[in-house]
Amino acid sequence: MARQQERRTIHVDGEWREAISGATRDIIDPAVARPFAVVAEGDEKDTDLAVEAARRAFDEGDWPRTPVAERAALLRRVADLLVRDREELGALESRDAGKTLEEGRVDIDCVADAFRYFADLVAAEAPGRVVDAGSPDIHSVVVHEPVGVCALITPWNYPLLQASWKVAPALAAGNTFVVKPSEITPLTTVALIDLLAEAGLPSGVANIVTGPGHSVGARLAEHPDVDLVSFTGGLVSGTKVAQAAAPSVKKVALELGGKNPNVVFADACTTDEGFDTAVDQALNAAFIHSGQVCSAGARLIVEESLRDRFVAELARRAAKIRLGRGTDEGVECGPLVSAQQRAKVEAYVASALEEGAILRTGGKRPEGLGAGYFYEPTVLDACHREMRVVREEVFGPVLTVETFRTEDEAVALANDTEYGLAGAVWTADAGRARRVAGRLRHGTVWINDFHPYLPQAEWGGFGKSGVGRELGPAGLAEYRESKHVYQNLAPKPVRWFAG
């Protein structure tokens, strides 16, 4: 783990190295706005070497032909190593991304769960699907093979968790890969490469290039020797990845965020316990990790008769959220990841107020927290669909409030977005819960809850939230090609041509 302080953070064909150019990048602790680590700043040349190593390991190495049971065993060893290093990795994730220490620890638990899930999934599979060809003389089977060299491009908000959603199924399927973590938060992904080697993964199977998206990410997306690119990040960058990948017709999986509705019906809040739970979960939906979550419930859509009471209590509790460095005792919410991200959030809040939103709490930098990139949890009331803050992904601690009167209106508001990643409905009416969940055009729908996910359930979105799925059986299928093998057991002439 000492490697986190070094400049040799590019890993190619089993060796750690500096960038060919010698360039480096400081990694900033967002709670204090100061560097605490230095990493290599790779570019296209480093990327080409990494892809070459992954290509060679796939075409000539043993990993794609390693028995499934052995691949599964390696993934389980990785999970055990993650548990062993939970405290160290959790603290590193907290410091790098700015989240609380407890969030960092939970992230590592979820990473271990992902590796175990995909190990169990491949180990339990049948070797192929027999197809009934209608004749005893024909043996027909569909088998699954690794897609090849995978480019894995991950975001800055959940660095190791999002990496695991790609690395674990890619390895389970027998692929080789090059991973490019966010240049802002690369440290735990660098640490993961060491753990993979410790678990016994052959050289060249796992490669990492630390560096920016405009060089490393762009080269991975366009590289002719890459067979699949899996990207998690913003819509603009994801569109560029798809465009770069198109000429080589490689497989593409994109998870591009969301603008996620949290719909609260008044009947969910007729008791004190129901009201308290719905408010508490609305806070969790919007402000976990300072709102820097692709599935954040940033749009509160509340029934009009409940609105005044609900928003008042929501704002009161939001104002009491304890901000600070994630590793400090009692802190509930950390900083934004960078000065640039905070400036973006500030611009969205300013535009909302200009467009008529009412500030109920927050809306400014807190006092007394030094130079860190902190921003107060913010509640904006009286919002409507024409506002930028309602339409676009803010990725910060900003919650907008809209109201509805009827079930149809609630569904229409919730679906009135170009995204479609996740959403929730709160109601005591079981029939309404099923109806609304069925009508919401979002990849994950929670009923009377927000944010939980299961590694065995697919994750992904409709619309501009992306294409493809992570997790679940479909998440493994992304990293495979299906092959139909048709065997004639009694071949004879067809006599199609008389001569």
Residue 497 above 50 pLDDT?
Answer: yes
The two three-digit tokens of residue 323, written as one number:
């901000």
Gap between the Cα atoms of 161 and 337, Å rounded: 16
Residue 141 above 80 pLDDT?
Answer: yes
Q: Which whole number is the average pLDDT over 31-60?
A: 98
* H helix or E strand, kind and range, residue 488: strand 480-488
| pLDDT tens for each residue of 246-286 | 999 999 999 999 999 999 999 999 999 999 999 999 999 99
Catalytic position from the list 41, 52, 103, 255: 255
- Closest alpha carbon to 77 in 203, 202, 200, 204: 200
Q: Strands of 378-381's sheet, edge to edge? A: 358-361, 378-381, 398-404, 299-303, 261-264, 422-426, 444-447
pLDDT attached to residue 498 = 81
pLDDT attached to residue 77 = 98
Per-residue CA distances from 433 to 80, 161, 220, 282 (Å): 39, 30, 43, 17
| pLDDT tens for each residue of 89-136 | 999 999 999 999 999 999 999 999 999 999 999 999 998 999 999 999
Gap between the Cα atoms of 113 and 122, Å rounded: 14
Domain annotation for the chain: domains and CATH numbers: 1-256+465-485 (3.40.605.10), 261-447 (3.40.309.10)
Gap between the Cα atoms of 220 and 213, Å rounded: 9
Q: Which whole number is the average pLDDT over 318-330?
A: 96
pLDDT attached to residue 6 = 72
| pLDDT tens for each residue of 468-487 | 999 999 999 999 999 999 99
Q: How confident is the model at residue 310 (pLDDT cuts 50, 70, 90)?
A: very high
Residue tagged 């024909």 (tokens)? 138
| pLDDT tens for each residue of 187-237 | 999 999 999 999 999 999 999 999 999 999 999 999 999 999 999 999 999
| pLDDT tens for each residue of 173-197 | 999 999 999 999 999 999 999 999 9
Whether 447 contacts 437, CB under 8 Å = yes
pLDDT attached to residue 1 = 46
- Closest alpha carbon to 120 in 61, 63, 168, 65: 168
Per-residue CA distances from 272 to 29, 40, 260, 267 (Å): 41, 54, 26, 12
Read off the DSSP letter of residue 497. S
Strand partners, 446: 424
pLDDT attached to residue 5 = 52
CA count, 13 A, side-chain hemisphere, 407? 15
pLDDT attached to residue 2 = 45
Q: Which whole number is the average pLDDT over 424-429?
A: 98
User: By percentage, how much of the chain surpasses pLDDT 70?
Assistant: 99
255 catalytically annotated: yes
Residue 315 above 90 pLDDT?
Answer: yes
Amino acid at 379: V
Supply the mean pLDDT for the chain.
Answer: 97
DSSP string covering 8-74: --EEETTEEE--TT--EEEEEETTTTEEEEEEE---HHHHHHHHHHHHHHHHHSSGGGS-HHHHHHH
Amino acid at 303: E
CA count, 13 A, side-chain hemisphere, 139? 5
